[in-house]
Amino acid sequence: MNSLDLFKMAFNNLWRKKTRTFLTVLGVIIGTTSIVVMISLGIAIDTEFKKSMGEMGDLTVIEVNADGYMYRDESDSRDKKDVKLDDTAIATFKKIDGVEAVTPEKRMHMRIGVGKYIADMRVIGIDPSVMKDFGLEVEEGRLLAPGDKTVLVFGKDTLEFFRNPRVRNEEEPPTVDVLGNKLILTSDRYFGERNAKPPSDYKAPKHYAAKGVGILKEGGRNGYRAYMSIEEMLKIEEEDEKTKKDSSNRRRDRDENKYETIKVKVKDVESVESVETVIKNIGYETFSLTDMVNNMKETTQKIGLILGGIGGISLLVAAIGITNTMIMSIYERTREIGVMKVIGAKLSDIKKLFLIEAGMIGLTGGLAGLTFSYLVSFGLNKLAGGMMGGGPDTKISVISIELALGALVFSFIIGVVAGYLPARRAMNLSALKAIKNE
């Protein structure tokens, strides 16, 4: 018997017992739907977490700090390595394989004045030549350029920080043109305040004439910061230290670590872990969003296994149903099996016939279950997504292509495996006894 004949016979046998076949397929549908929807919840958790991490920053950026510890041997004691965040460290990081760009960072809380408006914000000193490498893009104007003096690039959200100190309880932030007006940059916290009364021993830091050259595109934390050349920031910090009574202490701290942090841009996400390992072995502490993603990935994998196991119970019940259906079919078709053997049907063909029937039940239930899973996923994303307050792109159920194909293959395999023992039973039936069976 050729394969086409076997498929026709299998289909006709299942069609003759439509009700029983439908109930068996229904069990597979429920099982497939359960396991697909459950796993899709875990995938959605992982997807949304990666999305939120991407909004927080670049997954290929490593932040390096000096407070690192390193084991020098396998004993329990730990020695703190004498490492500094300075130009030597930058040169060392640039030589590591997989590193694309390196920049030091310095942070200062500054006050910026534009006409009658003032704003307090964090200003980040950065190497202007690598801003593009670190994913900073402007919506208006330009980025910093080497040689810029007191020049600023603003995060888009910083424009909402401006206020008129002469107006109380402003309902909305004023519209301030930071690119078309002269700016005043200072760490003087009393600058621009109406009726400000600084302490008698307070010496105001120097005020600097500055200009804005660009506004960054929206994107995570960068929207709440302003950027300037780190060399210029170090000069401003030096001048500010001269006006403070504890300048000697501050100077000593600065000599230990010239920079507050160093950021390392890696070529791809796959190289982040290896580059972090090298930097840690030198003695530095590192942090990257990839660390959080990896930790979350382990958590979501565990959640996926638990949810998949819950759905798998339903599919196991469906497999038992397929086995029961095939065994009942053998009892009802014992005489038919005997006739097939007498007229010369191969034992392997009889076995294939029952395996094909079981596989058709599994595959049909898998297809229908996958279709129903998409409907359930769509409903969850529409209803539950809105109830949770998420945006239109927020999803709590994601059915990936891999999950869909895996569900179909798995349901087919479950059907074949569930039908294997009944198929062997049919193959091993005595032809004479089978014919005599009433």
**255-306 pLDDT, tens per residue?**
467 898 999 999 988 888 899 999 999 989 998 877 777 777 777 777 777 8
Whole-angstrom distance, CA of residue 47 vs CA of residue 93: 31
Q: In this predicted model, which residue has the larger pLDDT, 81 or 113?
A: 113
pLDDT at 249: 46
Tokens for 283, please give them: 């003695």
Whether 10 shows a pLDDT value over 90: the answer reads no
Instruction: Using CA atoms of 57, 61, 67, 69 in order, give the dihedral in degrees to the nearest 10.
Output: 130
| pLDDT (mean) for 339-351 | 75
Tokens for 187, please give them: 């760490």
pLDDT digits over 310-326, tens only?
A: 777 877 888 888 888 88
**What is this structure's pTM?**
0.62
Contact 260, 192 (CB under 8 A): no
Count of helices and strands (H, E) across the chain: 11, 12
pLDDT at 77: 41
Whole-angstrom distance, CA of residue 159 vs CA of residue 288: 28
Whether 68 shows a pLDDT value over 60: the answer reads no
Whether 97 shows a pLDDT value over 90: the answer reads yes
Whether 252 shows a pLDDT value over 60: the answer reads no
Contact 165, 115 (CB under 8 A): no
Percent of the chain's residues with pLDDT above 90:
31
